[in-house]
Amino acid sequence: MILKFKTTIKMKCACDVITTLPHYLIKLFTACNKVVLGTEVSCGGKFAIKILEKNKLENSTKIQQIKKEQKIIQLLDHPFFVKLHWSFEDEKRLYFVLSFATNGDLLSLIEANNYLPVKCAKFYAAELLTALEYLFKVKIIHRDLKPENILLTENMHIQITDFGTAKYCHDKSHCESDEGKTMSFVGTADYVPPELLTQKSSNCSSDLWSMGCIIFQMLTGKTPFHDTNEYRVFEKIIKCSYEIPSSVENDASHLIQSLLKTDPSSRLGSKETGGFDELRNHPFFDVINWKNLSDQEPPRIAKRILTLDDDGYATFRQKKGIQRLQCSDPDDVDGYGLSITMSDEERLRRLDLQTKTKWDSYSTGGLILKQGALQKKRGLSLKVRYFLLTDTPKLVYIDPDTMELKGEIPWSDKMQTEVKTFKVFFIHVPGRTYHLIDKTGNAIKWCKKIEEVKEHFMTHPE
């Protein structure tokens, strides 16, 4: 797909200089509603292009939020943050051309390796500390720090992204005082600081809490307050109830405990505890050379990392080559699902094979094109369901423990999919949105298959 502007486009650069670029040409590899991967034809540089529909931004609050996010990203001038290169618009959309991190996000790296080696965790914790210190100096609270928002560049350094819920403090005292507290509920459950739950407020030290959660997750593969649903997670956070595995070294354990304090002013790195200098001097960071971290080579990880192929789809890259994501069908080596345009003979063969599986009874005569376990989120509830997409077309989900059919997503030509991250995607139907999470990083492939089936039945009605 080629997006070509035949007329001269004026793009506003991050430095507020208006640059005129005639015949700007971008090749779009991946269309995900919200974000696309693009290449500037003239130089071959890759960019992440965030696209916003104007008709969905009529709410003044949303417009102000976007302006605030744009202002914050423009303000940041540091290698550990995404950079806004250009912004422009047409009649229907706003476009933000951002730096593209080619190696996915920190969460994918953690999950691909189960957890990170101590040396690697120390290095990324040091980069995160440096980034937070910079944010504090420019008077910004991120408020949604989590591994998914920490991207990895081509050289495996971090780039923090997603400032949609960030808070800009007008001066340092405002940032640290009660007047600087925010009164809106933001963030992600596993990383939310207790003051946001108990006092509905957050300040600069709130990001230090999130840092403690991230260090815990890098070293153990899990978040410290993880539970079956968000309500229980919140209960644990308020009580600061967590256990550090005995496998975690003493220095790391002490640092985590020093960051996960219910009192924000008691967290290591806060103004009251000596600031970031004191945090930097913690024994956990003894091996770190703080000079020019962004120019150093990060510790190598032997195991696989999540990245993008040239076609824009997620795969795991290993030292010895590419390993495609596994799926339920042994012939479906790419995880995209079966083609709906297969021959009648092939379809009958597949149906015969399908009768030997435990999922056949839920297909009601249709051929299962794609299947897999997804987390289905609704309100505070997060439940694992096994989804089946058939060629009838139907999209049903089952409780894999009880094998009970739990529901069906209503199919219509108004159904729309939306990819949020490698793992998170939405299915919009009239009157409801389904929030789904694929822990294997197949969100793009699920949406691609659903759209393929939808397009087939719109162009070949039966």
Whether residues 20 and 90 share a domain: the answer is yes
Torsion of CA 211, 161, 234, 437, to 10 degrees: -130
* Residue 112 to residue 307: CA distance in whole angstroms: 11
pLDDT (tens place) for every residue of the chain, 462 residues total:
344 443 333 444 433 333 334 334 454 444 444 677 777 777 778 888 888 887 777 665 677 778 788 888 888 999 999 998 888 887 888 888 888 888 888 998 898 888 999 999 999 999 999 999 999 999 899 999 999 999 999 899 999 998 888 887 654 444 443 334 444 455 678 999 999 888 887 788 999 999 999 999 999 999 999 887 788 889 999 999 999 999 999 999 999 999 999 999 999 999 999 999 999 999 999 999 999 999 999 998 754 444 444 443 334 344 333 333 333 444 454 566 888 888 889 999 999 889 888 899 999 889 999 999 999 998 777 899 999 999 999 999 999 889 999 999 999 888 999 888 778 899 999 999 999 999 888 888 898 899 999 988 887 765
Whether residues 22 and 60 share a domain: the answer is yes
Q: Which domain holds residue 269?
A: 106-308
Spell out a b/e string for 141-153, using b for 16 or more CB atoms within 10 Å of the CB, else e: bbbbbbbbbbbbb
* Residue 203 to residue 196: CA distance in whole angstroms: 9
Catalytic residue among 144, 329, 391, 438: 144
Domain end marker among 308, 327, 356: 308
User: What pLDDT is attached to residue 35?
Assistant: 74
Whether residues 146 and 260 share a domain: the answer is yes
Whether residues 284 and 387 share a domain: the answer is no
Whether residues 138 and 281 share a domain: the answer is yes
Whether residues 231 and 200 share a domain: the answer is yes
Angle (CA) 201-207-57 rounded to 5° is 70
Please name which of 441, 422, 420 lies closest in space to residue 325, comparing C-alpha atoms.
Answer: 441
Domain end marker among 81, 99, 117: 99
User: What pLDDT is attached to residue 180?
Assistant: 41
Whether residues 256 and 163 share a domain: the answer is yes
Residue 42: CATH number of its domain: 3.30.200.20
User: What pLDDT is attached to residue 316?
Assistant: 39
Catalytic (active site) residue 413: no
Whether residues 113 and 15 share a domain: the answer is no
Domain end marker among 99, 125, 140: 99
User: What pLDDT is attached to residue 62?
Assistant: 72
Whether residues 51 and 11 share a domain: the answer is yes
Please name which of 279, 278, 216, 298 lies closest in space to residue 249, comparing C-alpha atoms.
Answer: 216
**Is 314 inside any structural domain?**
no
User: What pLDDT is attached to residue 193?
Assistant: 93
Residues 6+ apart with CB under 8 A from 385: 373, 374, 375, 376, 397, 398, 399, 400, 406
* Residue 284 to residue 298: CA distance in whole angstroms: 17
Whether residues 115 and 25 share a domain: the answer is no
User: What pLDDT is attached to residue 392?
Assistant: 92
**Is 256 inside any structural domain?**
yes
Number of domains comprising the chain: 3
Whether residues 407 and 287 share a domain: the answer is no
